[in-house]
Structure 1
Amino acid sequence: MPWKLNLSNRKGVQAEKRALLFLKQQGLTLLHTNFACKTGEVDLIMLDQSTLVFIEVRFRNRSKYGNAASSINGHKQKKIRNTAAVYLQNHRQHNHRICRFDAISIDNHDANGQNSLEWIKSAF
């Protein structure tokens, strides 16, 4: 049975769409969205010239528990790395590439819903 990802978080899906648009404007090329397997899920997999980039997108509506970037803890990083390894096993045409792990942090800063977007290259 193939692995199936449930995308029921509307705000999360919107954040990923915004991040994708931003990264395309920066010149990155999309390979996969929401690559999921038993080890976890990677939101976006893109090429930055010849570098394969695994991107975690985080959205925070409130900063009560820290900003969006701070929510990518060691456990989440390990899951993303393990999922990236599975991706590389399944897509051997990218095995020669240098890999990078980036984060897109989107935080809601005011009552009007204005969000900031921060691209953190080589986040972990």
Structure 2
Amino acid sequence: MLFRVDPASPQPLGDQIAASVRGAIAEGTVPPGERLPSARSLADSLGVNLHTVLRGYQRLREEGLIELRRGRGAVVVDDAGARRRAALMQQVRELVRQSRELGLTEEEVVGLVRRGLA
């Protein structure tokens, strides 16, 4: 799996790392059960701080896309819905990006989503 970060981007590096993994899961190029690189080795290869990688991995864990296991590292969840969740999360991130560009408040975005659920 290829990780890329752009230090000039306004998006935090940890979010960029999470987006790389999320995209690979959504595309199916990283299968369930696959181990991700250790945070230390990934930080070294990208030239970023270890905690930056850990923040990205933590975000993916919160999204239910990876498990963090002591001694085993980060592993893509072995779950049939992980790929669909990753794709949905990409769409959510895009919604948030577009909402910010339009200057919408958090309350306005939540209101739009609630109306969409009705």
State the TM-score, normalized to the length of structure 2.
0.29
Q: Which has the higher contact order (CA 8 A, sep 6+)?
A: 2
Structure with bigger gyration radius = 2
